[in-house]
Structure 1
Amino acid sequence: MVLKRKPSFFRENWIYLIGFFVLYGCANMQRPEGGPRDLTPPKLLKATPPNMTRNFNAKEIDMEFDEFYKLTNQYQEISISPAQEKLPEYKVRKKNLIIEFKDSLQKNTTYVINFGKAIVDVNEANAMKNFTYVFSTGPHIDSLSITGSVTNTQTQEKEKDATVMLFPLSKDSLFYSRKKPSIFATTDSSGNFSLNNLAEGKYTIYGLKETSPNKIYDNEAELVAFIKDTINLTTDTSNIQLKLFVQEPEKFRFIERRFDTDGKILLSFNKKLFNPAVKILSPAELDNQRIVEFSNKNDSALIYMRNMDFDSIRVALSDNNKPIDTVVLRKNRKESFSKSVNISFNLTTDKLKPGTDLQIISNLPVESFNTGFITLKEDSAIVRNFTIVKDTLARRLLLKYRWKQNVGYTLEFGDGAITNIFGNKNEKGLKTFTIDKPENYSILTLKMTVPEPGKSYIVELSRDEKNVLRTDVITKNTSVVYNNYPSGKYTVRVIYDNNKNGRWDSGNVRQKVMPENIWVYEKEITLRPNWDAEDAVTIPKEPINP
């Protein structure tokens, strides 16, 4: 018998394998890496029936786009006006979008389908903003428009990606009933908007900067805007100015209420209070030993209790001597808390601002301190002519001394130098620091000119929007002087304090109360080291709210 070698699988099928790998490689071609990022949203190539069709009688619309796309939140983003009881069905077929109507259309009516940000490309999620498809079941298409802009009240800057909503006057209550508008537009990068293909009639208009994209004002942290007057639309209307603001909540509530790990009670509120106060209702005997700190904005409180031997506590909050609310907090009677003494200081990168006291800040209120256990050294020499006093803030001590330049200071704490209200004492430690150079600070003088003497204006100096360094109330032409401010860039804004309460007051949409106007000085002020700066600031006359 003659034995023949069996051909291998690879020899016999090599040509098929080569073809397989070629085809597989072609089928899995990837988009080349690098290159400019695609910033172009999908574009409509063709619609059947075409956009702006009159005498429309189709049951569905077929839209073809120039690239593959996806729908996002279509039942939140897409709206049809007039609204239909049965929503259309949206079907994605490759590059086409099929809209099937499930409800009958009214006769002789202009319909506007606003797609919001529902249509985005597949790769980069670029949204096709403010895209609308318009048709009429009769021979006429409504063609009136409303245009304008949206501004942030606090910053006075134009707001992009804000939603502008239009309601027929007869349906204005829909805004308050948390219903999505059927007529809306999104502001562009310059804060401008355009509402088109509108019928004659009376409308109300609102602006909204959302925290969640549902086109419903359902969160008190969202920015909202409105104008007082009804828009009587008979011709194209332009220059509508909407000013966004955070509305002060109508009802007070506690946002947070808890015991922290060190035993203090934290209460935070949903609105700022004017003159808040706290009282312990039960156990009533604890009320005379409470220590309370309110935040600078009066929107939170810290409550320290010397005696923690209770399982529940009932706290009453009032403002301007009027009761607001009560809250009950519970814990285990023998629950343990971390009551150790931790100390911090008012130093910036271990430098103390010249001409200021050194603040010794405890994490818990200070019951007592012993200066015999506290040593201050100037370079290596011990100094004794310093004093330490309690500040009005129960957690803070002030160390007073005539500081010198170009020397190093060391502050040493012996065991038990500071005792907090729970009887806990600090452990041994030290802090080194120097005195910052006076030439790193400047003096700024603002020569303020008011438009109407006798009226109240609040001048705020800040380094950023959220960090107001100082507030001054003026009623006449005057100079406001800022001594020893570090070099950097500063902004000035002015609140038109109409009710003369020394603070900015928000508005109320339901009551049609506008927020107090704010003006931002257009010039950014630069303070240079060891420099006296002076600026003449002329406050313009307050604008009239629409």
Structure 2
Amino acid sequence: MLGGGPKDSKAPVVLMEEPPHGSIYFKGDEIAITFDEFVKLKDASKNILVSPPLKEQPDYKLRGKTLVIKFNEPLTDSTTYCVFFGDAIIDITEGNALSGYSYVFSTGPVIDSLNISGTIKDAYTGLAVENTLAGLYLLGDTLNVPDSIAMKQAPRYITRCNKDGTFRLGYIAPGRYMVFALNDQNGNYFYNPYSEAFAYVDSVVGLQYPVNDTILDINTAYTDTTKAISLSGEAVSTPIDTIALEADTTVSVIPPYVGPDFHMWLFTEQDSIQRITSKERTEADAIRITYRYPLIKPRVSILNSDSIGRVFTVFNAFSDTIYLWTPAPLCDTVHINITDDNGRCDTIKLLSKKHASTVRRGRGVSQGEHLLIKSNLSGQRLPHFKKLMLLFNQPVALIDTTRCSFVAGTDTLSPVFRQMDSTAMKFELVYKFEQNKLHKLFTGDSTFKSITGLYSIKSSFNFTTSTIEDLGLLRIKLTTNKPSVNHILQWLDDKSRVLVTHSFTSDTTFTIANQMPGKYTLKVILDNNRNNRWDTGQYMKLIQPEATRTKEPAIEIRANWELEEEWNLVF
């Protein structure tokens, strides 16, 4: 049997560049790069960056094993350009990428060689955000602080950060710059507040060559001569071996200079204007409308109520979400008017959603035709110190406890339920659980009735409570370099849900007890304004997002185990 031979795992290799990599006095409009095999481009418009950015995207064409790049606009005089290919160049057989390849040229006599580097992370999560841009805005001589430049003009230099959030940006000319990062959603290189994440260094950064270094200049080289000239800079992806000046003339580049390192935190600004953030018909007989901020004494009316009938309106505890239900399916189009004491007035039009027939008491029922019940159980285990919660998809209007029962060990009890939220969609079973006992909550048909007249069907919730030996404990000693500033400690599960919160203003120790085995995360927010929550940044007001720190690696809790950790917080 014939085999296919070893799998090709080698990336394409550059054989020739025309004009050569590092050319100066570039006057053409095309670049040709030849490889040792046939290649193709992967998402060229997304993966390939030209710095400084161009208004018109270049054309990328493949001719055999050669990639031809054609510029569709005049290039700026005396400017160093760098084309970053990212992972765009791959071979046609196995898709092996030529990662990190870049091509540099200058339209003047100098290859600029200053550079910066750094990291970009999400300010709240501390995680890297893929495809984030890092760059520089060139500032005027009199501009000392960043203004709206990020929203008004394209940056002077850009690069794309790596998957781990690190970046290096090279081939920069001396000057005064604003350093920034942008998660550019629409690809226009402009910052769009409220919809794009942004980060910035809030002081002007001056980049200059060290005094003893020499800038590469055409006048320093002569025909048939090779000179070693020290430059203050280094290549971003591939080092420049030689820079072609003219026929038979090269100048070696030695890059001893390492530029400054910046750490930036991405944030998405919060829109200060009250708006509707979402509106939807969640079911044929249900509507949910959410506002950015709470409404002041909101009032809701259905403009075409004659064709709808009775409408039940419920507000959440913060008055920023409105729920509407009707006993019968809503008509195809619903017109809703919402006002409040702040002068808010919105008229909303919602179109129909496919309806699943509701079934009332006394009829046969099927999935989707009754009041739905869920619980907070994870599997069939409940920590003995917690409560059993029942969650409903509509507000509950009536509970008939004669139709349900609760068994704890060998005891059979009549259950008692307590409403836990303003919408009457969350209820607690009132009972103090003991350790290591089998429990069963049975709810028969029509135990619960919703405000629209839907009834629940029979359900069973079987679970065993934990013991002290099933659980673990963490004792965390915290020290900080920001005493007197309010800190918020958060204990999160593997789904990033906050389970425990503590506040502190100085070195302290906390005990987090009764934790189920598993992996958890410790996070601290530096709460500068003492409002007990994390606040995002405001670019135009030069307010950075509140700093956060996440302890690495994740903390593993084991059953019947006490874990002690120390964490020195540096902000």
User: Do the two structures share a fold, i.e. TM-score over 0.5?
Assistant: yes
- Residue 326 of structure 1 is matched in structure 2 by 346
1:486 deviates by 0.7
Matching of residues 306-455 of structure 1 within 5 Å: 312=334, 314=336, 316=338, 326-330=346-350, 338=358, 340-378=370-408, 383-384=412-413, 386-393=415-422, 394-404=424-434, 407-455=437-485
Residues 77-124 of structure 1, C-alpha deviations (whole Å, 9 max, x = no match): 555556667765443211112344555555544443444554333234
Distance 1:510 1:419, change over 3 A: same
Measured in 2, the distance between the counterparts of 1:444 and 1:317 equals 49
Tell me the equivalent position of 1:133. 103
SS at match of 1:133: strand
CA contact (8 A) 1:440 1:529 kept: yes
Specify which of 246, 249, 270 is matched with residue 248 of structure 1: 270
Encode CA deviations 1:480-519: one digit per residue, 9 max, x unaligned. Answer: 3433221122221111111111111111334432111112
Paired residues of 2:371 and 2:454 also in contact (CA < 8 A): yes
CA distance in 1 between counterparts of 2:562 and 2:66 reads 66
Q: What residue in structure 1 maps to residue 301 of structure 2?
A: 282
Q: What are the within-5 Å matches in structure 2 for residues 395-544 of structure 1?
A: 395-404=425-434, 407-464=437-494, 466-522=496-552, 524-540=554-570, 542=571
**Structure 1 spans left out of the alignment, 5+ residues:** 1-28
User: Which of 168, 174, 177 is residue 194 of structure 1 equivalent to?
Assistant: 168
Q: 1:389 to 1:67 in 2, by over 3 A?
A: same
1:229 corresponds in structure 2 to 203
Structure 1 stretch 399-408 or stretch 526-535: which is displaced more? 399-408
Distance 1:138 1:355, change over 3 A: closer
The alpha carbon displacement at 1:369 in A equals: 1.4
Tell me, yes or no, if the aligned pair for 1:264 and 1:302 is still in contact at 8 Å: no
Structure 1 residues 120, 178: CA separation in 2 closer, same or farther (over 3 Å shift)?
Answer: farther
Deviations 1:151-204 (A, max 9, x none): 33234355665321223226986742585x562222235533222222222222
Larger radius of gyration: 1
The reply to whether residue 64 of structure 1 matches residue 34 of structure 2 is yes
C-alpha distance after superposition, 1:244-268 (max 9, x if no partner): 2333345554343122216332234
User: Over residues 197-216 of structure 1, what are the superposed CA-to-partner deviations in whole Å (9 max), with x where a residue is unaligned?
Assistant: 22222222222345676756
Deviation at 1:389, TM superposition (A): 3.2
**In the superposition, relative to structure 1, how do residues 278 and 460 fare at CA in structure 2: closer, same or farther (>3 Å)?**
farther
Residues 465/126 of structure 1: CA separation in 2 closer, same or farther (3 Å cut): farther
8 Å Cα contact 2:310/2:326 also seen in 1: no
> Is the partner of 2:316 in helix, strand or coil?
strand
C-alpha distance 228-383 of structure 1, shift in aligned 2 (>3 A): same
Q: Which amino acid aligns with 2:442?
A: E
Summarize the Cα distance change of 1:48–1:145 in structure 2 as closer, same or farther, 3 Å threshold. Answer: same
Alignment deviations for residues 29-65 of structure 1 (CA, whole Å, 9 cap, x no partner): 9x937x5563x54332211221122334445433212
**Counterpart Cα distance in 1 of 2:81 and 2:427:** 70
Tell me how large the CA RMSD over aligned residues is.
Answer: 4.0
Q: Secondary structure at the match of 2:492?
A: strand
- 1:238 aligns with 260
What residue number does 1:176 align with? 151
C-alpha separation in 1, matches of 2:468 and 2:295: 39
In 2, Cα distance between the equivalents of 1:375 and 1:82?
A: 71
Residues 199, 264 of structure 2: 8 Å contact kept: yes
Query: Cα distance 1:436–1:97, how it changes in 2: closer, same or farther (>3 A)?
Result: same
TM-score by length of 2: 0.74
Q: 1:382 to 1:483 in 2, by over 3 A?
A: same
Matches within 5 A, 1:92-241: 92-100=62-70, 107-157=77-127, 161-169=131-139, 175-177=150-152, 179=154, 181=155, 183-209=157-183, 217=191, 220=194, 222-235=196-209, 237-241=259-263
Partner of residue 279 from structure 2, selected from 233, 247, 257: 257
Partner Cα separation in structure 1 for residue 104 and residue 319 of structure 2: 48
Structure 2 runs not aligned, ≥5 long: 141-145, 210-231, 233-258, 359-368
Q: Which moved more, 1:191-200 or 1:250-259?
A: 250-259
The amino acid that maps onto 1:391 is: M
Identity over aligned pairs, percent: 26
In 1, Cα distance between equivalents of 2:449 and 2:56: 70
SS of the equivalent of 1:176 reads: helix
AA aligned to 1:326 is D
* Larger CA deviation: 511-520 vs 439-448: 439-448
TM-score, normalised with respect to structure 1: 0.77
Q: Is the partner of 2:525 in helix, strand or coil?
A: strand
* Aligned residue number for residue 321 of structure 2: 301
Q: Is the 8 A contact 1:220 1:247 kept in 2?
A: yes
Give the distance between the partners of 2:107 and 2:47, measured in 1 at CA: 24
Cα distance change of structure 1 residues 97 and 428 upon mapping to structure 2, 3 Å threshold: closer
Q: What's the CA shift string for 1:123-172, capped at 9, x where partnerless?
A: 34444455333333443322222222323323435566532122322698
